[in-house]
Structure 1
Amino acid sequence: MSKVYFVTGTDTEIGKTTMSAGLLHKARMSGLSTAAAKPVAAGCERSRDGLRNEDALALQAQCEPAIDYALINPIALEAAIAPHIAAQEEGVPLSCESLAEGCRRVFALDRDLTLVEGAGGWRVPLNDTQTLADLAGTLRLPVIMVVGMRLGCINHALLTAEAIAADGLQLAGWIANRVDPDMSRPDENFATLRQLIKAPCLGLVPWMESPSPDQVAACLDLTPLI
């Protein structure tokens, strides 16, 4: 039976893509089929094939069997800014409904594990009235939360978990990702998060300069998801 999850984070630049790639890699190494969607991505670079996003390409590399880039990332925006601002400046309509339609095309592939990665945190706007949280809600997806382990992470993680619950969605699991190698009392912070977050911890990923999907996968547990 296929499993689909929405991946969010406690902030931007806290390793959502790296953790997602790790989860997909672990699934692949377990013999499972995989798929991913990055419905909207800002900060894309021009290539001979069109606009390409580094995060979406990283997810594409972990899809087995392979999936066309356009299916994974249907809305590619060039400016490396908030997606709704980039979409306005580039004249690209952005709505929850259109993004949900693109995600459903990926779901139709019926892979064992499919991940939909958001952009930034839980309440990142899509337009004047909708956020990426509305996309997860429209699709009725359980959520995986990536916690960037640095000063302030406890507050950010608990607020995000509360917002997910307030939106009527299940927090299926969370990952602690050590993004600050100089963080004070990391073990104590992690212990507090494990005590207060009422969802399975899928893993603690230590600080790594350039973590590869297989290195991240070694730190993760798929059991609560599959």
Structure 2
Amino acid sequence: MTKKAFFITGTDTNVGKTLIAAGLLVAAKQQGLTTAALKPVAAGCEKTNEGLRNSDALLLQSVMTQSLHYDQINPYALEAAIAPHIAAQQEKRSLSVDRLSGFCRGVLSSANFTLVEGAGGWRVPLNARETLADLAKNLDLPVIIVVGVRLGCINHALLTFEAVVRDGLAVAGWVANCVDADMPVLQENIESLKVRLPVPCLGVVPFLAEPSPEQVAKCFEQAALDHLIQ
């Protein structure tokens, strides 16, 4: 079976990238695929007896089929919940695309369906010269954009799409994640995005008070899943 891998980015921070990624992993598993995921850089980790742990990385670990050590999933765990390059500076650590790419490549061929989740949006810095977009470019992965459906989402989505394409990568599709329970003209915004983004909408996830990956997995269109995994 062909092995597929994608880079998950978002239109901003707190748009539900991890939840959508976890839902995609569950949906792929339901299709009979082996799955794996990486969160190469995570800022906002808690101290545990086993070291720093990030809730997003732990969620991905809990739903993937492959048995990976936490450090394989999240090689750079940073304690402060701030921009990763600043958190790394504070901890006197250095982030680079070369190092992150090396960690990622060790996992990318381990499953039929693999996701690499970024941090924040497309242009989040890693250091003075590189961003997480450079990691996606180095790995040459098609991109899935998670659109946080709230006021301003159309502009953010179009700018993100344009930036990804300008960087030379394919956009495999996008997911509408309704993060605002009181979003006005919700359906009109989603339809506006469908008209303006020339790639498939993989699914629309309604606002969920207590979301789970299993609930999200039900929101993806079968044709969209076929588009990704075939």
What's the TM-score, normalizing by structure 2? Answer: 0.97
- Distance apart, 1:27 and its partner CA: 0.8
CA distance in 2, matches of 1:98, 1:30: 33
Matched AA of 1:61:
S
Q: Which moved more, 1:73-82 or 1:60-69?
A: 60-69
CA RMSD of superposed structures (Å): 0.6
- Distance apart, 1:166 and its partner CA: 0.3
1:41-97, CA deviations, whole angstroms, 9 ceiling, x for partnerless residues? Answer: 000001111000000000111111321111000000000000000000001110011
Q: Any gaps of 5 or more consecutive residues in structure 2?
A: none
Instruction: Give the secondary structure class of the aligned counterpart of 2:118.
Output: strand
Instruction: Give the secondary structure class of the aligned counterpart of 1:86.
Output: helix
Match of 2:227 in 1: 224
Match of 2:37 in 1: 36
Matched AA of 1:175:
V
Matched AA of 1:30:
Q
Q: Does 1:16 align with 2:39?
A: no
Instruction: Give the secondary structure class of the aligned counterpart of 1:175.
Output: strand
Instruction: Give the secondary structure class of the aligned counterpart of 2:37.
Output: strand
Match of 1:108 in 2: 109
- Distance apart, 1:223 and its partner CA: 1.7
1:175-196, CA deviations, whole angstroms, 9 ceiling, x for partnerless residues? Answer: 0000001011010000010000
Matched AA of 2:40:
P
CA distance in 2, matches of 1:187, 1:66: 39
Match of 1:167 in 2: 167
Contact 1:35 1:114 in 2 (8 A): yes
Match of 2:126 in 1: 126
CA distance in 2, matches of 1:108, 1:186: 39
CA distance in 2, matches of 1:108, 1:196: 34
Q: Does 1:99 align with 2:100?
A: yes
- Distance apart, 1:108 and its partner CA: 3.3
**Mapping for residues 173-188 of structure 1, pairs under 5 Å:** 173-188=173-188
Contact 1:173 1:224 in 2 (8 A): no
CA distance in 2, matches of 1:121, 1:25: 23
Match of 1:117 in 2: 117
Match of 1:214 in 2: 214
CA distance in 2, matches of 1:170, 1:108: 20
What's the TM-score, normalizing by structure 1? Answer: 0.98
CA distance in 1, matches of 2:226, 2:161: 21
Q: Any gaps of 5 or more consecutive residues in structure 1?
A: none
- Distance apart, 1:104 and its partner CA: 0.3
Q: Percent identity?
A: 59
Instruction: Give the secondary structure class of the aligned counterpart of 2:63.
Output: coil
Matched AA of 2:7:
F
- Distance apart, 1:31 and its partner CA: 1.4
Matched AA of 1:148:
G
